[in-house]
Every structure is written in C-alpha cells, then in structure tokens.
Amino acid sequence: MDTENQTETNSECDLTSKSCSTPNEYDGTKKAQSEQEQRLTLKMNKIRHKIAVISGKGGVGKSTVTVNLAMAFAMQGHKDKVGVLDADIHGPCIPKMLGLKGQTLIGGPGGMLFPVTGKLGMKVVSMDFLLPNDEAPVIWRGPLKMKIIQQFLSDVTWGDLDYLLVDLPPGTGDEPLSVMQLIPDMDGVVIVTMPSEVSEAVVKKSVTFAKQVGIPVIGIIENMSGFVCPDCGAKIDVFRAGGGKRIADDMTIPYLGSIPLDPKICNDSDGGLSFIVENKTSPATKAFLEIVEEIEQFLEHKEPSEKPAKPKST
C-alpha cells in the first residue's frame, strides 16, 4: 500500500508542479499543455451552451436529473445536438442510465477520441467507457482526475452541439474546480438537491461555491420530492419536503422546480431506459420538460443577441 501511495504522490508532482521537471522537460510539457489548451478552446467554441449539474451532497439523483434533462433537450428540438460528459471519475453512472454499458471510446488519429452515441443522437463520454468491468475502481488523487477531464474536453470530437451537460461528482473539490477552470465559457450551473434538511445544509455550499468561482447559478431543482403510494395513492414525504424552495429563497437564486419520487425512475435508470422517453405523460416527465423550458429562458435572457462564441462569463 505504501508503494502505491508513493506512486500517487509522485504523479501529483509530475502533473502539477513544473519545478519538478528539468528545464527541457519543462519546455516540452509547457508546449504540449498549450496545444491541449488550444484544442480544448476550439472544441468548446463549437458547443453553444455548457451547463454543469452539481450538488453538494451525493445521492440526490444528480445523474438521473442530468440524463433526463439531456433527453428533454433532445426531445425538444435538439436531436443529435446534445452531449453529456460524466465527470464523476470514481462512480460513473451515466452509461448505465442511458443503456450504453459495455460501449468503449474509440480512438482516432492524433489521440482523437469519439464519444459514444446513444438514443436521439446523444453524445456521451464517461470514465466507465474506459474501465474493464464494474468492479474496477479508479484509485486516483486529484491531479490525475483533472488530467482525464481535460482530455475528455480537448481530445473528444464532440462536434457542433447545442448543449453539453457536465455531470459532476458531489462536493467542492478537484473535479468541480477542474471543470469550472477548464471550460472557458460555462453558461452556468444547475444545482440538484433533495428535500431533507441535511441535504439542504450541504447543497447551500454548492451555491456559495458557484458564486465564488464566478459561474452563474441557473437555478435549483428539488429531486425525490414527495412519494405517491402506488397502492393507496397517499402522498408521503419520504425525505420531507420543501428544502429546495427554502434554499432558493434563502440564497436568492431561481427555483427551477421539483421532481416527484417515482419508483419507475429508478427502474428505468437501472434498465438503461430514459424515463422521460418511456413515460411521456407522467408528472415527473412534465416536471423535467418545464425545467428545460426554464433553463432555455435563463439562457435566452443571458444572451440578448445571437452569437457564435461567447466572452468569458463572470
């Protein structure tokens, strides 16, 4: 174990600390870094809107929300024009939820990578596509995680997209910081929470995080909000209710809406089916479509005129 951790520490040094290299190595590394940054900017300029989905707390259904928002965008006039980057390096769930398990990223000339394409022409990139099986953990410290996220942004042929949704792991550490730092003109973040007070306390940190790194908060979504017993129809607040709205009010950010707790969502996620495609009339689908409209309104407001590339958000 000690040897392994030693390796980890060395990797950190190699990847982040320029003073650990000899001058020649340093020049070479610097050139490669600069070329990668240029590729990243070129790739990102071709994507109209970049939105990160975050939550302070894990397990609030952030990946489920990301997948269904992406599908909702695709269904509402953006077929073949939506991408999802699963930036959860340790626990990538997006491929399973989109029925893309077992697929791999195919490489092209010059280190190019092609995203996996799912239903409605969804472009998907995830660490999961690079792992041999479900049981393989990615035991990486932060700098290595930043490096792979950078590659996912700079070396993947995302193409011309209307929307790229970035699903981030919980917390305010390496992955969120890296994504916010790397994507040059992020439109904003969507914050997902669940109704419990414990979640509420942690999710507030995400709001402050977004404000501190200068990324606009598009709004907050409350997931797993109330449960209707399929046997008797009684409405039960399994995880209490109203936490999302309270955070929005307390921190003066937009409230995008609430998604009811529906066992079908979990079933469909497990089955790799897109819930909102399979259940077009359910209350949860209605909620997702309304939220997408809210997001589109936010983005229209944000940019009064048509533009091919935006200036850096502040």
Using CB under 8 A as the binding rule, the residues of this chain from 10 to 29 that contact a second copy are: 12-13, 16-17, 19-20
Of 17, 40, 41, residue with least CA distance to 29: 17
Using the contact rule CB under 8 A, the part of the chain among 78-86, 88-96, 115-123, 159-167 near a second copy is 88-96
Site membership for a second copy, residue 268 (CB under 8 A):
no
Which residues within the stretch 52-81 sit at the binding site for a second copy (CB under 8 A)? Answer: 56-61, 63
- Least Å from the CB of residue 78 to a second copy: 25
Beta bridge partners of 85: 125, 166
- Least Å from the CB of residue 273 to a second copy: 12
Longest distance between any two alpha carbons in the chain, whole Å: 72
Which residues within the stretch 142-201 sit at the binding site for a second copy (CB under 8 A)? Answer: 142-143, 145, 169-174, 177, 180-181, 194, 196-198, 201
The tokens describing 279, both together, are 């259940």
Q: Using the minimum distance from each CB to a second copy, give the nearer residue, 12 or 278.
A: 12
Dihedral sign of CA atoms 212, 215, 217, 222 in order: negative
- Least Å from the CB of residue 77 to a second copy: 29
Residues 6+ apart with CB under 8 A from 311: 185
Residue 255 DSSP SS3:
strand
Q: How many CA atoms lie within 13 A of 122 on its CB side?
A: 27
Q: Using the minimum distance from each CB to a second copy, give the nearer residue, 44 or 89.
A: 89
Using the contact rule CB under 8 A, the part of the chain among 24-32, 74-82, 230-238, 295-303 near a second copy is 230-238
Site membership for a second copy, residue 209 (CB under 8 A):
yes
Q: Using the minimum distance from each CB to a second copy, give the nearer residue, 51 or 215.
A: 215
Q: What is the C-alpha separation between 283 and 220, in angstroms, rounded?
A: 18
Do 84 and 94 touch, CB atoms closer than 8 A?
A: yes
Q: Using the minimum distance from each CB to a second copy, give the nearer residue, 143 or 159.
A: 143
